[in-house]
Amino acid sequence: MTIVKSIKDIARMAGVSPSTVSRVLNKNGRYSKETEQRIQKIIEESGFVNNVAAKSLRNSKTHTIGLMVPDISNDFFSKIVLEIETILKEDDYSVFICNSHNDPDLELHYFKDLIAKQVDGIICFSQMTNLPKNFENYHIPVIAIDREPLCNFPVPCVTSNDFDGGYLAGEAFCKANCQEIFVIDYLPDRLIETSFSRRRLDGFKQALFDHQVSLPKKNILHLKNVGNLIFEAEAIVNRLLAQSITLDAIFATNDRIALGVLSALKAHQLTIPDEVKVIGYDNSLYSIISTPTLSTISRHTKELAKSTCLLLIDMIEGRQEMSGQKIIIPTTFIERESSH
């Protein structure tokens, strides 16, 4: 497919005038249905995005950044968004926040919208499996944060050392002489989650292996309904306890899952941490306000945000290439009442 950068390119390929293409894009009428379909087909196949400033080439900065977030209500994401906004404001950048609800189609819509708005760069909490066609031809710096991209061209990434984070959680249980250990994780076939949850689980398994503690496959449980992590995790633990299964430790791969675990254990009058120890992940607000307070893995949101912003600005200013870099931020075990 020929690269399409302007209305003139579309007009030439469709055999019509640029003004006709403009009327189709703006839905101003005075064209046949056949002409509209021919032009729309070229637009869809080429991945062309109509520029709101009516320019086909980016020749000036807008001092705006697009920020794609899967769930702004999640405390982990909202903390990073706030940090990013604060840092970029110091460099006179405004931020367009797009909440994708973990919907790849909505992400694609937002990508096209941000291209049309001529943003100077895009930060995306996404594996970016669904990008506009010929996206790289727009030469807009893009950084994946938290989740490693799976798109077909190299995208810089800033992420946490989730393998080490999982290892730290497993090591803490081993040092506490836990033997009947369970894990509650996301569904294994959810692309959005698996890149980092798999690394957490791999690190956790390695720690147990190194300390000669077994983790049977049946002890790794997966959420079925990620719409409400707390209630789903609570239901899983309730089912376990109803079967009189012996357990002395549960690793939840995020703090909201851990809240559901705590709720179920308390409902069954099990003492935490004396009878069952619990460790979450993210060091979110939930971990501080829960009862008991939650031991967790900190992913250092300030460092994630700072590294992302510095790299993006360097890319915008031409001091860094727009592909290939990978920055990994260390994780830290925060011990609180649920495992102490």
pLDDT computed for residue 192 by the predictor? 46
**Does pLDDT of 171 surpass 80?**
yes
- Characterize the bridge pairing of strands 296-298 and 332-334: antiparallel
Average pLDDT for the chain? 88
pLDDT tens digit sequence for 269-320: 999 999 999 999 999 999 999 999 999 999 999 999 999 999 999 999 888 7
The residue among 232, 322, 229, 331 whose CA lies nearest residue 282 is 331
pLDDT tens digit sequence for 316-337: 988 877 677 899 999 999 999 9
Tell which CATH classification among 3.30.450.20, 3.40.50.720, 3.30.540.10, 3.40.50.2300 matches the domain 62-160+301-331.
3.40.50.2300
**Average pLDDT, integer, range 40-51:** 78
pLDDT tens digit sequence for 53-62: 444 344 468 8
pLDDT computed for residue 52 by the predictor? 47
Q: Give the integer Cα–Cα distance in Å for 62 and 236.
A: 49
- Amino acid at position 260, single letter: G
Find where tokens 């973990």 sit.
102
pLDDT tens digit sequence for 131-163: 666 677 678 899 999 887 777 677 889 999 999
Domain with CATH 3.40.50.2300 in the chain: 62-160+301-331, 162-299
Per the document, the length of the chain is 340
Strands (E), the chain: 64-69, 94-99, 121-124, 142-145, 157-160, 181-185, 220-222, 249-252, 277-279, 296-298, 326-329, 332-334
Q: Which residue has the higher pLDDT, 55 or 169?
A: 169
**Does pLDDT of 9 surpass 80?**
yes
Please give the CATH number for the structural domain made up of 7-50: 1.10.260.40
Structure tokens at 21: 């293409």
Q: How far is CA 44 from CA 38, 134, 186, in A?
A: 10, 11, 34
Sign of torsion, CA 145 147 151 152? positive
Percent of the chain clearing pLDDT 90 (strictly above): 58
Rounded to two decimals, what is the model's pTM?
Answer: 0.79
Asked if the 162-299 domain carries CATH number 3.40.50.2300, the reply is: yes
pLDDT tens digit sequence for 90-120: 988 999 999 988 788 888 889 889 988 989 9
**What is the separation of C-alpha 145 from the centre of its chain, rounded to a whole number of angstroms?**
7
Domain with CATH 1.10.260.40 in the chain: 7-50
